[in-house]
Amino acid sequence: MTDQALVDLAFSMLERSYVPYSRFPVGAALLCAGGQVFTGCNVENAAYGSTICAERTALVKAVSEGCREFSALAVAGNSTDYCWPCGACRQMLYEFAPELTVLVARGDGAFVKLPLKELLPHGFGPKSLG
């Protein structure tokens, strides 16, 4: 799958976001090592701490279906700035894929590509417990 196709899938998820409070839809598309893609959107909640981000939605869907190895993630929002994953999402992704490539898009469709390790330097993962 091309980077552009993955970003396009992330953008397609914006319309499914449930964002009555922030009005900031986010979409994500997570590419598994085997080629399968899981998408996600952010789902807000009146109890704000119960809100789940698009990236974690896609990750949890993938893990619940048996995928544990990932190669790329695209994140898209409608903003003028790039839609960077929050710290909680970075940590959850690092748990499974410290070598993950992250594609971060802004509303006009432009995106940047960088390694998760650049977004979460010195990350804490399973190997940290050994």
Does residue 55 have an active-site annotation? yes
Give residues with Cβ within 8 angstroms of 55, minimum separation 6: 26, 28, 30, 40, 73, 75, 85, 89, 92, 93
Instruction: List residues bridging with 37 in a β-sheet.
Output: 31
Q: How long, in residues, is the chain?
A: 130
Rounded Cα gap, residues 9 and 13, in angstroms: 7
The catalytically annotated residue of 44, 55, 69, 95 is: 55
Task: Return d(Cα 48, Cα 86) in angstroms, integer.
Answer: 15
Closest CA to 124 of 74, 29, 116: 116
Q: Which active-site residues does the annotation give? A: 55
